[in-house]
A = this chain, B = another copy of it.
Amino acid sequence: MPAYATNMRLKFPIVALVLEIVTIILFAVFVVYDDGKHHGHSEYTNGTHHTANPMELYPMFQDVHVMIFIGFGFLMTFLKRYGFSSVGFNLLLAAFGLQWGLLMQGLWHMHDGKIKISILEMINADFSTATVLISFGAVLGKTSPVQLLIMTILEITIFSINEHLVVNVLKAHDVGASMIIHAYGAYFGLAVARVLYRPGLRNGHENDGSVYHSDLFAMIGTVFLWMFWPSFNSAIADQGYTQLTAVINTYLSLAACVMSAYAISSLVEHKGKLDMVHIQNATLAGGVAVGTCADMNIGPFGAMLIGFVAGIISTLGFKFLSPILASSLGIQDTCGVHNLHGMPGILGGLAGIVSVALGKAEKHQSAAPTALCPFFLLFSGSPAMQAAALASSLGFALIGGAVTGFIMKLPFWGQPPDQNCFDDSIYWEVPEEEDENEESLAHADHSKNKAEA
């Protein structure tokens, strides 16, 4: 362990500093402020409103920002001794990821060799980090910050390729990103988790669980995600009534999802009790599942049906599928991202195929966030393209995740040994507990000993 810790002292700072310096240099070469002068014939004119005010999307951006940093960060604090890492590494990965995402996504949309940043690009950059934070949930507690930074670079790079393919080549609809963020992020993370499989954790780990107040911290994340999900699904929708449709569909899908998640949680649990893991996660599945067709004319009840089904599938997944994945397939999915993002993401993709086939997207045609030209309408709107988008997202996720997993598995990235998993004290100075102060004779240095063991 001391050898490990010493390595961290140099490895992590060097990796982080070098990455940031390289990023700053790339920004110096490529990135400029948007001055509003290239929008004449670009994607923005597809919308029903030309954005005269460059700050118009800023409140939407801030909602998404809160989801990324508070939502994802606190959702993962449910573990009893991994809260520092959950919210802290979440901040680290998202802060680096948004810079990397600006570059990777911007490469596909250069103007005179420059990447122009406006609020829309900042929203998309935040979105790109969401894929990493979802995958982080799958490997939570079992990876070093160096490994996670590597995952961030690779996952966002591959994401931006798949996004370009889905949105600009296939011209598929995915306004709320059920496929290109949620399904992609989940299966990418599951592939990484599979490669990093730890037989030593097969029988669980004493720190792989919650305490009372850690579950309450996690609810901060849950509720902020739940509240602002309508912004996530509508931020890049066409402005005006299309955006309103995306807000309403997401709002209603989430409300219906809460009801089914609570009902099924009580139904399947011991003596009808509710399980915090389900409430923290499955209540959000409606937001994931309605993403692809959020801006389509599926009707309020259609959105509610999608949310209702998503809540059921997600809760059942936590109860019955996750244990099987862990025991039979060697996929140890710490946060159950398969149940919150994976299956609901696929459900969203399937709902999108059906909705497009039924013509629900026709009146809201220009939903794609980065469509490049007015020819868009000629090619989009095909169920086959939607299916191809789903397949592409899953394919990039599984292959990209597996490759990334093997790179992360290289033995010099400081991966923690099994006994130090799910424990902040391997990466953080952790304060002594109140209890220990008071019971100093009995086991005063418990956590210190553990940390330095």
Residues of chain A whose beta carbon lies under 8 Å from any beta carbon of chain B = 2, 5-14, 16-17, 19-21, 23-25, 27-28, 31-36, 49, 53-55, 58-60, 62-63, 65-66, 69-70, 73-74, 77, 80-81, 83-84, 87-88, 91-92, 95-96, 98-99, 117-119, 122, 145, 206, 209-213, 215-217, 219-220, 223-224, 226-228, 231, 239-241, 243-245, 247-248, 251-252, 254-256, 258-260, 262-264, 266-267, 269-276, 279, 283, 297, 299-301, 304-305, 308, 426-435, 437-438, 443, 446, 452
- Hey, which chain B residues are within 8 Å of A304, CB to CB? 20, 23-24, 27, 99
- The reply to whether B95 and A254 contact each other, CB–CB distance below 8 Å, is yes
- The reply to whether A431 and B300 contact each other, CB–CB distance below 8 Å, is no
- Hey, which chain B residues are within 8 Å of A264, CB to CB? 13
Nearest CB of B to A173, in Å: 17
Q: Determine which of B7, B212, B300, B308 lies in contact with A31 in the assembled complex, contact meaning CB atoms within 8 Å.
A: B300
CA distance A63 to B80 in the complex (A): 31
- Hey, which chain B residues are within 8 Å of A23, CB to CB? 256, 304
- The reply to whether B70 and A224 contact each other, CB–CB distance below 8 Å, is yes
Q: Determine which of B25, B216, B259, B300 lies in contact with A27 in the assembled complex, contact meaning CB atoms within 8 Å.
A: B300
The 22 listed contacts between A and B (C-beta, < 8 Å) are A6-B271, A6-B272, A16-B263, A17-B263, A20-B260, A33-B299, A54-B240, A55-B247, A62-B231, A65-B227, A80-B434, A83-B213, A83-B216, A87-B223, A91-B283, A99-B304, A213-B217, A271-B452, A273-B426, A274-B427, A274-B429, A433-B434
CA distance A428 to B20 in the complex (A): 45
- Hey, which chain B residues are within 8 Å of A231, CB to CB? 62
Q: Determine which of B24, B256, B279 lies in contact with A24 in the assembled complex, contact meaning CB atoms within 8 Å.
A: B256
- The reply to whether B62 and A248 contact each other, CB–CB distance below 8 Å, is no
CA distance A90 to B245 in the complex (A): 26
- Hey, which chain B residues are within 8 Å of A13, CB to CB? 263-264, 266-267, 272
Nearest CB of B to A202, in Å: 21
Kindly report how many copies of this chain are found in the complex they form together: 3
Q: Determine which of B31, B256, B430, B434 lies in contact with A99 in the assembled complex, contact meaning CB atoms within 8 Å.
A: B256
Q: Determine which of B8, B19, B117, B452 lies in contact with A248 in the assembled complex, contact meaning CB atoms within 8 Å.
A: B117
- Hey, which chain B residues are within 8 Å of A33, CB to CB? 241, 244-245, 248, 297, 299-300
- The reply to whether A241 and B54 contact each other, CB–CB distance below 8 Å, is yes
| 5 shortest interchain CB distances as A-B pairs | A9-B272, A95-B258, A28-B301, A5-B271, A8-B272
**A35's closest neighbor in chain B, by CB?**
B241
CA distance A49 to B52 in the complex (A): 11
- The reply to whether B28 and A258 contact each other, CB–CB distance below 8 Å, is no
Q: Max chain B CB contacts within 10 Å: which of A14, A231, A244, A308?
A: A244
- Excluding A122-B248, A211-B431, 19 further A-B contacts by CB distance (< 8 Å) are A6-B271, A7-B272, A9-B271, A13-B264, A20-B304, A31-B301, A32-B300, A55-B243, A59-B59, A62-B231, A69-B226, A84-B216, A87-B223, A91-B226, A91-B283, A95-B254, A206-B437, A273-B427, A435-B438
- The reply to whether A99 and B62 contact each other, CB–CB distance below 8 Å, is no
Nearest CB of B to A374, in Å: 24
**A49's closest neighbor in chain B, by CB?**
B53
